[in-house]
Structures are given as C-alpha cells and as structure tokens.
Structure 1
C-alpha cells in the first residue's frame, strides 16, 4: 500500500458515517497489541479552542525538550497534519505502512462479526500505533466529537483532562442544552483523575463538577479573572497572569484574538499544575518561550497584507462571535467577507453574527457533500446584507475579493474549516 492508496482506503470508510461507542476501537486496538496503553496523555475536549490549546501545550513541552505527539482534527491542507510529533507531520511512508497493518486487522475483526471501523476510528488507531512506535514522551489527544463515547476516550488514564469552552455545536448528536453537551465533553474525566476547565456557563460547569465528584477527580477551574491583557492588536497579544505564588509578566503570543490569550492561559495552567504534581519538568521561561513560538494555522491567520487577508474557521456560533469580536482589533476602510458554510451548521446565527459587519460579501462553496449551495446561503445573507456576489469556485471567490478591495481594506474568509483550508492552500501557493 502506498500513500495514495492509504488515503483512498481511509476516506472510503466515510461511507460508514460516524459512531459513538468504544467496542469497535477496543477490538481493533487489541488485535494491534493495545498500542494506546502505557502512554502519557493530556486529553482535550470542548467546543472551541481545542486545537490552539493543544498547540500551546505541545509547544511548551517541546521547548522543555520533550517529544510530543499531537492528534488533532480536522486538517486544513494535508491529511498528515492530524498526526504529528514536535510539529513534524507523519510521513507519507509511515502513514501507508501503518494503514496497511491496520487494514489487515480490520479484515480479521470484520470476519469475526464486528462492525467495520469508521474513518475517525481508523485514523485514531493509526495515531496510537505511530506514537507508540515513536516512543513519544507525551501525547496530546484532541477529542473528535463529544468525549464520552469518542474513539479517543478508549484511553484508560490521562495526566489531565482539559476542557475548553463549551457551547452549542453538533446538537443533533450531543444534545440541545449546554448541560447535555457538557455531559458528553466531561466524559473524558477519569477515575481519580485531574480536570482543568475553562470557566464555563453555570449550567455546563455544574455538570462538569458533578461528574468530577462522581469520579473522585480533582477539578480546577482556570482563573481567567487573573489575566491582565496588556496589549491586543493584529500582531498578537501580551498579557500577565497570576496563579498562587506564580506571577507571569509580559507573556507574548502571536495567535490573534482575545480568546487566544485565554486559550494560552488554559494551556499555561495545565503545565503549571502538572509541574506541581511532579509529572513534567520545565521552567517558567520555557513556558513563556513555548507560548510565544506557538503557531496554529487557519485560526485568525493573516496570509497577506495590503490588503490584509485574514482567514478563520468561524464554523459555529461561538466561533463566529469570536471572529466578530476579533475583527475590532484590525484597522481597515472596508471589509470584504468571503463565506461558505456547511448546511448542517447553525447557518442563520452564524450569518447574523458576521455578515452585518461586511461591506461586500463573496459567497462560495466548499468541495464536499455537506456544503450549503451558494444560492441558498445568499437567501439567508440577504436578510442582513444585499451587497452579495456568488463565485462557487473558491479560487474565483478569492480573485473576486481582491477585485473588490483596495490596499487599506480587510478581506476575511470564514464560515468553514474546509473553506479556509482550501483558501490557505490557494493563496500560499500563489505567493
């Protein structure tokens, strides 16, 4: 099996859809010798901020000299991004070799009467095998969907369960209240474990507290009230943070937006607590250096200047609100918005949050079955803004946005992570 064959095999299994539950994962990993056991995990769940919080923690640990495996999703430009060690994506060759081995075990289990693993179960398994073979020091494991029955939750123990912001998303699967969603996210909490949570809405935090109590886990709420923002602009942010006897001054980050200061704080807190428990060894300077060096593509990322070209996923309501708030940190004359949204998202609320900010709007489509057709999206957008153009082809949508913009303007593409992955690939290729 070569790389292309491996990707085709993995993507073909999308036909099995998604599945919550761990029985299939348990059998597949057993056949592979249980590579997920005996690794040191930091498990990350939440609605938004999982990826950047994971990136911050990975950068800090790398700065301290550790080898850190990171499993994340989705990818922006290239599948291999989902499985990396110290910022280096899994190679094509290793992905192909491990996929072939996993495929053989899947054929065995299906013959024994087990259900066929889904794409996400297969990819999670490949990550476990890779990190185990590479003998990483720590694995940062990002939940795919929910937490309780997500395939990453096959792990028995973790150094920490980190819960980022909880909001409404995937309500058809996770539930239609913050409490129900929090119940699924808090499913990653382990018996006698450690939980570090972003300050949540009362309804969500009460659920996390209840589950932590039931599992005799220690719950620590990250004290965001101890964050002092010194500077926040289109180049990044500077902030201070106090926790117990620790007093961090002038922490710099390059990721944009106020929310990234809070995500960085959650990562910082997690590192401090694990250090206090004697589970990791690093200095305050390594923490600060790691935070400053953190990169996270596609989230409030400036790809070009004159005009400023900004991309951001903004694929759910909380993400759209964050984008709307972050745009205030930019200086511009006119805002041109490029937008595409998946039809199973909270389209109306995403649109009403970001569309009124734009002077002109270029509507496009992502290249996948779940896309919302441009004409249907335009109907919703026109309730808030009539200055619309349709360019179904993403490259043409980018070109149109530049046609509409002068050097002092701001171009923003968002509404879907799949959209910004393609936009990023196109724009960086042409630069």
Structure 2
C-alpha cells in the first residue's frame, strides 16, 4: 500500500458513518496490541478551544525536551497534519505502512462478526500505533466528537483530562442543554486521575466536578483573575500569569488573538502545572519558548497585511462570537469584506446576528462537505433578513479576483467551516499572497 492508496482506503470508510460507542475501537486496538497504553496521555475534550489548547501544551512539552505526539482533527490542508510528533507530521511512507497494518486487523474484525470501523476509528487506530512505534513520551490527544463514546476514549488510563469551553454543538448526539453536553465531554475523565477545567459557567463546571468526584479524580479549576492581558496587536498577545506558586513567569507572549485564547492559555498553564508537580521538568523557559513558537492555522490567523486578510474556523455560535469580539478589538471600527460558508447542521442563521454588523459586504461559499449549505442558499438567507450587499460565489478562484482588487486599507475575513477555510488557505498560499 502506498500513500495514495492509504488515503483512499481511509476516506472510503466515510460510508460507515459516525457511530458513538467503543466496542469497535476497543477490538481494533486490542488486535494492534493496545498501543495507546504505551505513553502518557493528556486527553482534551470540549466544544471550542481544543486545538489551540492542545498545540500550546504540545509545544511546551516539546520545548521541555519530551518526545510529544499530537493527534488533532480535522486537518486544514493535508491529512498528515492530524498525526504529528514534535511538530513533524507523519511521513507518507509511515502512514501507508501503518494503514496497511490497521487494514489487516480490520479484516480479522469483520471475520469475527464486528462492524467495520468508521473513518475516525480507523484514523485513531493509525495514530495510536504510529505513536507507539515512534516511542513517544507524551500524547496530546484531541477528542473527535463528544467524549464519552468518542473513539479516542478507548484509552484506559489518562494522565490528565482537559475540558475546554463547552457550548451548543452536535446537539443531536450530545444533548440539548449545556449540562448534558458537559456530561458527554466529561466522559473522558478516568478513575483516580486529574482533570483541568476551562473557566466557564458554574452549571457546566459543576457538572464536570460531579463526574470527577464519582471517579475519585482530582479536579483543577482555572480562574480568569489569574491572567492579565498586557497588550496585543496583529502579531499576538502579551499577558502576565498572576498565579506564581508553581511557575514564576515574566511577561508571556502567544501568537493567538482574541480574549478566549488567553483563557485557553490559562487552561494550558494549569495543565502544565500538574505535569510539573508530577515530577516532569517543565521550566519557565520551556513555557516561554513553547508558547511563543506555537501556531495553529485557521484560528483568527492573519495571512496578510495591507490589506489585512484573516481566516477563522469559527463554525458554531461560540466560535463566531469569539471571532466577532476579536474583530471589534483588533479592527476597531473598520468594516470587513466577509467570505462566509457553513454546514447546514451548524445553523448558519443563528450566527448572522454576530457577523452582519461587522461587514460592509458579504460573499458566500460552499464548503467541500456533503453537509454544506449551498452558497446560493446562504446568500438568499442573508438577503431575506439583512440589508447588506451579498454575492454567492460558485468558484473559489473568484476569491482571488476580489482579494487582489481590494484596497490596501481593507479588512478581509474568511469565516466558517474548516472545510472551507482549508481550501481558501491552500488557494491563497498557491497564489503567493502570503508566505
């Protein structure tokens, strides 16, 4: 099996849908020798902020000298982004080899009467096995959907669980209240372990604490008062970490923009305190180095200045609200030229109240996903409810004409589904609009 065949096999399993439950992934990992038991796992669940928090923790562990795996989803430009070690993506030969091994084990499963694993279960198994072969120290493991029945929750022992911001998303699977959603996310908490909780509403935090207590796990809260923003510009934010009983940090810089990213950093620091107190060599220097080096494409990412071009994968109500706050902070009173595309099941009409007031005009796009809302339908929705100029684009290449024709003083934003953001990022890179 070569790389192309591996990718075709992985994506062909999309037809098996998305099934919540652990029986299939448990059998598959058993056949692989339970590779997920070979390293310490920091498991991260939540509605928003998983990727940013995961990358911050990963880069600090790497800066501290630990061989650290990172498992994320989805990818923006190339599949190999999903499985990384020390910022190096899995090479194509290794992906092909590991996929071939997983495919052999799936054949055995089918013969024994099990259902065929879903695409995410297959990718999870590939990642676990590759990380074992590479003899990593830590794995920063991002949940795919929910937590309790997510394929990544096949891990029996977790060093630290992290629950990031909880909001309304995937309600058909996770429930129609924040407490129900928090319950599903908190399903990753293991007995006699540790859990760190992002600063959020008491009803959410208390739901997570209750589950931690039933599992005799230590829970660690985060306090927004422990972080003080110093300043920020389009290159990043500087802050002071006021909790100094474990780390005594000078001014810290992160490359992420938006108030929510300060709280993601706060959550990452609380997690790293536990790592430090558990006997690992996490120093102030490794934190400063890791935080300043970490980047996460597609999260209020500034691609270009003059004109300013930003892309953001805000794809639910909280993500869009965070984007809106960041635009108001960094772009001041400047209205944006917005390119917008979302999936139908993300309720695009719910987020327009946040977006439209920021815009001088809007272009709609169709994300490359079967669940996408067509650009023409999205444009019609906007026209019927708002007094703003909106144009639907059938071809992504039309973006280039519009962007290249913009005045240098303009602010241009691409917002919505990551399936759209990834394609846009590739397109703009290809045209040398940014490095």
Q: Residue 161 of structure 1 aligns with which residue? A: 161
Question: How do residues 261-276 of structure 1 correspond to structure 2 at under 5 angstroms?
Answer: 261-276=262-277
CA shift, 1:273, in A, is 1.8
Looking at structure 2, the residues matched to 198 and 34 of structure 1 have their Cα atoms a distance apart, in angstroms, of 30
Looking at structure 1, the residues matched to 94 and 44 of structure 2 have their Cα atoms a distance apart, in angstroms, of 25
Looking at structure 2, the residues matched to 379 and 76 of structure 1 have their Cα atoms a distance apart, in angstroms, of 28
Q: Residue 119 of structure 1 aligns with which residue? A: 119
Secondary structure of the residue that 2:297 maps to in structure 1?
coil
Q: Residue 137 of structure 1 aligns with which residue? A: 137
Structure 2 residue 395 is the aligned partner of structure 1 residue 393: yes
Looking at structure 2, the residues matched to 148 and 243 of structure 1 have their Cα atoms a distance apart, in angstroms, of 32
CA shift, 1:401, in A, is 4.1
TM (normalized to structure 1)?
0.97
CA shift, 1:398, in A, is 4.1
Q: Residue 326 of structure 1 aligns with which residue? A: 326
Figure out how many residues of one structure are paired with residues of the other and give that number: 429
Secondary structure of the residue that 1:249 maps to in structure 2?
coil
Looking at structure 2, the residues matched to 8 and 272 of structure 1 have their Cα atoms a distance apart, in angstroms, of 42
Q: Residue 344 of structure 1 aligns with which residue? A: 345
Q: Residue 21 of structure 1 aligns with which residue? A: 21
Secondary structure of the residue that 2:423 maps to in structure 1?
helix
Q: Residue 425 of structure 1 aligns with which residue? A: 426
Structure 2 residue 423 is the aligned partner of structure 1 residue 415: no
CA shift, 1:198, in A, is 0.4
Secondary structure of the residue that 1:125 maps to in structure 2?
helix
Looking at structure 2, the residues matched to 80 and 195 of structure 1 have their Cα atoms a distance apart, in angstroms, of 29
Looking at structure 2, the residues matched to 234 and 328 of structure 1 have their Cα atoms a distance apart, in angstroms, of 13
Deviations 1:177-214 (A, max 9, x none): 00000000000111011010001212211210110110
Q: Which moved more, 1:46-55 or 1:385-394?
A: 385-394
Looking at structure 2, the residues matched to 152 and 333 of structure 1 have their Cα atoms a distance apart, in angstroms, of 42
Deviations 1:348-373 (A, max 9, x none): 11222112210011111112211101
Secondary structure of the residue that 2:250 maps to in structure 1?
strand
Structure 2 residue 366 is the aligned partner of structure 1 residue 365: yes
Secondary structure of the residue that 2:240 maps to in structure 1?
strand
Q: Residue 282 of structure 1 aligns with which residue? A: 282
Deviations 1:41-79 (A, max 9, x none): 000000000001000011101111111000000000000
CA shift, 1:288, in A, is 1.4
Would the aligned equivalents of 1:344 and 1:370 in 2 still touch at CA under 8 Å?
yes
Would the aligned equivalents of 1:60 and 1:290 in 2 still touch at CA under 8 Å?
yes
Q: RMSD of aligned C-alpha atoms?
A: 1.2
Secondary structure of the residue that 1:337 maps to in structure 2?
strand
TM (normalized to structure 2)?
0.96
Secondary structure of the residue that 2:238 maps to in structure 1?
strand
Secondary structure of the residue that 2:84 maps to in structure 1?
strand
Question: How do residues 171-250 of structure 1 correspond to structure 2 at under 5 angstroms?
Answer: 171-245=171-245, 246-250=247-251
Q: Which runs of 4+ in 1 moved over 6 A?
A: none
Would the aligned equivalents of 1:76 and 1:418 in 2 still touch at CA under 8 Å?
yes
Looking at structure 2, the residues matched to 7 and 186 of structure 1 have their Cα atoms a distance apart, in angstroms, of 32
Q: Residue 386 of structure 2 aligns with which residue? A: 384
Looking at structure 1, the residues matched to 400 and 363 of structure 2 have their Cα atoms a distance apart, in angstroms, of 8
Secondary structure of the residue that 1:139 maps to in structure 2?
strand
- Inter-CA distance 215–373: structure 2 relative to 1 (3 Å threshold): same
Deviations 1:115-140 (A, max 9, x none): 00000000000000000000001000
Q: Residue 47 of structure 1 aligns with which residue? A: 47
CA shift, 1:391, in A, is 0.8
Looking at structure 2, the residues matched to 203 and 345 of structure 1 have their Cα atoms a distance apart, in angstroms, of 24
Would the aligned equivalents of 1:303 and 1:428 in 2 still touch at CA under 8 Å?
no
Would the aligned equivalents of 2:306 and 2:408 in 1 still touch at CA under 8 Å?
yes
Secondary structure of the residue that 2:394 maps to in structure 1?
coil
Would the aligned equivalents of 2:248 and 2:284 in 1 still touch at CA under 8 Å?
no
Looking at structure 2, the residues matched to 98 and 340 of structure 1 have their Cα atoms a distance apart, in angstroms, of 35
Q: Residue 108 of structure 1 aligns with which residue? A: 108
Would the aligned equivalents of 1:336 and 1:401 in 2 still touch at CA under 8 Å?
no
Q: Residue 170 of structure 2 aligns with which residue? A: 170
Deviations 1:219-239 (A, max 9, x none): 111112111111022221000
Looking at structure 2, the residues matched to 71 and 189 of structure 1 have their Cα atoms a distance apart, in angstroms, of 18
- Inter-CA distance 385–9: structure 2 relative to 1 (3 Å threshold): farther
Unaligned 5+ residue runs, structure 1? none
Looking at structure 1, the residues matched to 404 and 355 of structure 2 have their Cα atoms a distance apart, in angstroms, of 19
Looking at structure 1, the residues matched to 127 and 219 of structure 2 have their Cα atoms a distance apart, in angstroms, of 28
CA shift, 1:277, in A, is 2.3
Looking at structure 2, the residues matched to 163 and 270 of structure 1 have their Cα atoms a distance apart, in angstroms, of 11
CA shift, 1:293, in A, is 0.9
